[in-house]
Chain A
Amino acid sequence: MERFELAVIGGGPAGLAAALEARQNGIERIILFERERELGGILQQCVHSGFGLHLFKEELTGPEYAERFIESVRQSDIVCKTDTTVLEISGDRTVKAVNAADGFMEIGADALILATGCRERTREAIGIPGDRPAGIFTAGSAQRFMNLEGYRIGKRAVILGSGDVGLIMARRLTLEGSEVAAVVEAMPAPSGLNRNVIQCLDDFGIPLLLSHTVISTIGKERLEGVRIAQVDSRMQPIAGTESLIPCDALLVSVGLIPENELALQAGISTHEDSHGLAVDERMQTDAEGIFACGNAVSIHSLADYVTVQGRLAGRSAASFILDRRGRTELEPMYQDGRHTAK
């Protein structure tokens, strides 16, 4: 089994920052796993601007922001395994992964950093009744289809949920020539940033229907419309307020959940309510030597903060590794099984 000092799982802004920071803090053998072909994580599909205002004092797009870190990683000796999915991690810090070129691999590391990001809540998660016709997407997967694959999503869309991803997609669809009939939000106030309401909806005259929700979808093969209704303060549809909006696409933007399948399998604790990994102030999970950062810990609305947190995790992992190395060198007979030297 090949050994590394540090293995980082996930090549988004969190993982990139963590790996670079550990490298700068004297860690030499680092491996980074990313299941996509390119590094950068979700930033690659966020082609809009609004990244880097804190760290670089410039307004960058997602890919530009990512590239600054990807370049530094490329110029370093950090081993990057892209197109590689991590299948399993264990508490003793071994990582099982697979890709087309190397096949199955198992590596051991002195410390791990989990930076696996988040996934989207789906329509199923909020339970809208209706058939399952084509044309219903989560906002993030629609963003991916449009921005990375170049597909058109639909001619007339309704967006459910006013999270930032939904707002940004409303503008994106409009610019690409689709009509956005409405953004429908069950709460009395938009959940995304005000700046996104202004520059994504107001700029284009897209209606925002607050205290409204989608109660059912219509269409068998392809979506033909959605039925919406006003909701009361307990989120229950109010009788007599129903109306029909014809549309061939519904984008669901109802929130993100940290992605922690790997950690859960390994028995690492998460917060019950947020699903984020439970970490201490140095970003260490309850498994010794396993650190975490970014959206896997909690949902961040700014990539800059993710980078800052990634750096903290990288620094903490580096001092954990150096500290342990110091101890094993000083005390070759160190008895704790977890601390045996390579």
Chain B
Amino acid sequence: MMNQRTLSCIVCPKECALEVSMLDKVVTYISGYSCERGRQYAHDEILCPSRIITTTVSIEGGVCKRLPVRSSSPFPKERINEWMREVKELRVKAPVQVGEVLIAGILGTGTDVISSKSVAQDQ
């Protein structure tokens, strides 16, 4: 079945209006994007909507109380709650570096959970 969907690109604040045409579950045509990232977003949003997920976890012995963490790349949206449950269990000890992998390949996906910040040990 042919159908069409209009999306608003959320990759950057330009918010281009994207038109996606599909035949059954196959994307046949995408228009309205101003850059390659937007085209990719439209494609992914139809097939498997994903987001960069961020939260904070507790950290011991550091100069701050909470450590901000994120998914290394967009993660499937329907599984956000599972992601949160898993990440809540994290116990991190300072020091930690920005970009350090805290959970590799979370929930069997190819994305990691990484630190969003370097935290030095509290002297």
List residues of A whose CB falls within 8 A of some B CB. 37-38, 47-49, 53-54, 59, 61-64, 67, 146-150, 175-176, 193-195, 198-199, 203, 301-302
Contact of B117 among A64, A149, A301 (CB under 8 A): A64
Contact present for B56 and A147 (CB under 8 Å):
yes
A-B contact pairs, 12 of them (CB 8 A): A53-B11, A59-B11, A62-B68, A63-B68, A64-B117, A67-B98, A146-B56, A148-B64, A194-B15, A195-B8, A198-B10, A301-B13
Measured between C-beta atoms, what is the minimum distance from A206 to chain B in Å?
14
List the count of A-B residue pairs having beta carbons below 8 Å apart: 74
List residues of B whose CB falls within 8 A of some A CB. 8-13, 15, 51-56, 58, 63-66, 68, 70, 77, 80, 84, 98, 116-118
Chain A residues lying within 8 Å of B63, measured Cβ to Cβ, are 37-38
Contact present for B15 and A149 (CB under 8 Å):
no
Contact present for B55 and A194 (CB under 8 Å):
no
Q: Which residue of B lies closest to A197 (CB)?
A: B8
Chain A residues lying within 8 Å of B64, measured Cβ to Cβ, are 37-38, 148
Measured between C-beta atoms, what is the minimum distance from A63 to chain B in Å?
4
Chain B residues lying within 8 Å of A195, measured Cβ to Cβ, are 8-13, 15
Contact present for B66 and A149 (CB under 8 Å):
yes
Measured between C-beta atoms, what is the minimum distance from A33 to chain B in Å?
19
Contact present for A47 and B10 (CB under 8 Å):
no
Contact present for A64 and B98 (CB under 8 Å):
yes
Compute how far the CA of A54 lies from the CA of B8 in the bound complex, rounded to whole angstroms: 19
Contact present for A148 and B116 (CB under 8 Å):
no
Compute how far the CA of A146 lies from the CA of B68 in the bound complex, rounded to whole angstroms: 11
Contact present for A63 and B10 (CB under 8 Å):
no
Chain A residues lying within 8 Å of B68, measured Cβ to Cβ, are 47, 61-63, 147
Chain A residues lying within 8 Å of B54, measured Cβ to Cβ, are 47-49, 61
Compute how far the CA of A59 lies from the CA of B11 in the bound complex, rounded to whole angstroms: 8
Contact of A203 among B51, B65, B118 (CB under 8 A): B51
Measured between C-beta atoms, what is the minimum distance from B53 to chain A in Å?
8
Chain A residues lying within 8 Å of B13, measured Cβ to Cβ, are 53, 193, 195, 301-302
